Amino acid sequence: LKWPRAPPHREWNGTGTTPHFSEIVLGRCYTYTQVLWPELRHKDCGQIGKAFTNAFLSKDPCNSSEQDYQLLLKLTNQTTPCHTSVFWSKSNQLAHLYTRVQQDMFTLEDTLMGYIADGLNWCGDAGSSEMNYQSCPHWGKDCINNPKSVFWDTVSKRFAENACGVVQVVLNGSISNTFDKNSTFGRVEIHNLHPEKVSRLQAWVMHDIGGVRSHSCSSPLINDLKFILSQRKISFTCQDDYRPIKFLQCVKNPDHSSCSSII
């Protein structure tokens, strides 16, 4: 007796694995190591691609762990010079525009591991060796220990541990949670900076052009960040609307009054 095939159902509430995930990972790895940063041409993208998929295939997507990503982290290890790390929180686009212009600065997405994974979704299933292209666990609605969230926590932790010298963070001063203790930056990165290596955290609080000024360097919220760092013996400086980044915002809004007279 043959039953009709069950319609594909969405098991989870999050977006499924990005179509062509493996090919994208492989392509990005080769682009990064062979075209953009030939210093890394010895990296084995075949092995990196396999280690990435093996981190989550045939596993319960609500029981992902840092351990799952250890081989991938080992294969993608990369050292960036001191004074070049740029963290960000709720300022994804602006921070990346900044490092695109300032080519000697690195956000996590300017390193091999971040470059490969940026914008992708992925998960597997304990009872199958295939990726789940239908749906993946949603952080809030399904489970926090899903492969993508655990990945970003794990690689963000390593990025912070590797940072040295003066490090920067681009914050969004036009939202209520300019500094958010629950964000990757507030929850993972600041707690994994090494005080022996990191001399100072320089924050740039950027306000959207024509947007509200919810927080600035003098806000109590920024003081919370300063306090956490002082406890960790890392010095902190903050500047509102840092000119090099403000100019990037002004490229898109050249006629706005705040752009003809940047103080």
Residue 64, helix vs strand vs coil: coil
CA-CA distances (angstroms) from residue 142 to 8, 12, 61, 137, 174?
19, 7, 10, 5, 30
> In the annotation, is 164 catalytic?
yes
For position 216 contacting ligand C8R by CB under 6 A, the verdict is no
> Cβ of residue 213: shortest distance to ligand C8R, in angstroms?
19
Catalytic-role residue among 62, 82, 250, 259: 82
> In the annotation, is 259 catalytic?
no
Query: Contacting ligand C8R (CB under 6 A), which of 12, 159, 179, 236?
Result: 159
Q: Choose between 85 and 132: whose C-beta lies nearer to ligand C8R.
A: 85
Catalytic-role residue among 45, 164, 217, 238: 164
Per-residue tokens: 253: 């809004």
Strands 86-89 and 165-172: parallel
- Pseudo-torsion of CA 146, 106, 185, 91, nearest 10°? -100
Strands 14-15 and 135-136: antiparallel
Considering only residues 180 through 199, tell me which ones interact with ligand C8R, judged by CB under 6 A: 183-185, 189
Q: Which residues pair with 125 in a beta bridge?
A: 128
Considering only residues 81 through 110, tell me which ones interact with ligand C8R, judged by CB under 6 A: 87-90, 92, 108-109
For position 56 contacting ligand C8R by CB under 6 A, the verdict is no
Rounded to 5°, the CA angle 242-167-259 comes to: 10
> Cβ of residue 185: shortest distance to ligand C8R, in angstroms?
4
Positions in the binding site for ligand C8R (CB under 6 A): 87-90, 92, 108-109, 114, 118-119, 152, 156, 159, 183-185, 189
Give the residue numbers marked as catalytic. 82, 164
